[in-house]
Amino acid sequence: MINRDNKNKFLVIPAIDIIAGECVRLSMGDYSKKIVYGADPLEVALNFERLGFKRLHMVDLDGAGGESPVNLDVLERVSNGSSMEIQFGGGVKSLESAARVFGAGASRVICGSIAVEEPSLFEQMLKNFGSESIILGVDVREGKVAIKGWKQECDSDIFEMISNYQKFGMSQLICTDISKDGMLKGPAFEIYSTLKREFPGVEIIASGGVSSLFDITKLKECGADGVVVGKALYEKRVDLKELSQWLQNG
């Protein structure tokens, strides 16, 4: 059993990023440097399920760079074809699009750009759908928050933003260091240790840079509650038997 998705357990969540219906990975958020790892996202998801993972991280990169989700048919197909719990992000910028994502089978929706550009809308999402179903997604590059599929940087203060949304019940955060994402050179450990120290009541999920079981172990030691892992799984940098044993002993 790879992933035990319940409270007080460290989560390891495999990632599927979608462009034009295919499963891809980017390097440092660069859409021109995509690698296609599977033409059929459902088969990729089923492989993760067979390995014992319980939760799936799915990002609609077409939607992230636009104004609404594009690959909901992929989400629906994966949801109907597997038993994995899916957290979905990319282009969710309205109450209506969030409702469509839930309707297509997601258990959790990740919101990033609107949390920066339209705080009142994100607050309304927390109210309408519940804090257990809405995840704040914060993507950073060299200390600055990036939005719209990592294409635009802004001056929002990550700590101020998290503190404000906690008042409205926000309790789940995924933080991605774009400079580390897809590079297999290790995560930005200091970000996650600082976030957990400042916000102990928020579930902190790390994302970006994982290259080994050592990185996963260190993230847990830093206080992170879980990690999204992509390229390291696709390129077999993490031994799944060792990972399973580590999770069982943890």
Q: Which residues are catalytic?
A: 17, 139
Helix then strand count (H, E) for the chain reads 11, 12
What tokens appear for 222 in the block?
A: 């830093």
How far is residue 142's CA from residue 120's CA, in Å, rounded to a whole number? Answer: 27
How far is residue 222's CA from residue 209's CA, in Å, rounded to a whole number? Answer: 15
Instruction: Report the DSSP pairing between strands 55-60 and 152-154.
Output: unpaired
What does DSSP assign to residue 95? H
What phi, psi does 66 have (nearest 5°)? -120, -145
How far is residue 121's CA from residue 124's CA, in Å, rounded to a whole number? Answer: 5
What phi, psi does 232 have (nearest 5°)? -60, -30
Sorted by sequence, the CB contacts under 8 Å of residue 30 that are 6+ apart come out as none
How far is residue 104's CA from residue 233's CA, in Å, rounded to a whole number? Answer: 26
Is 86 strand, coil or helix? strand
How far is residue 131's CA from residue 57's CA, in Å, rounded to a whole number? Answer: 18
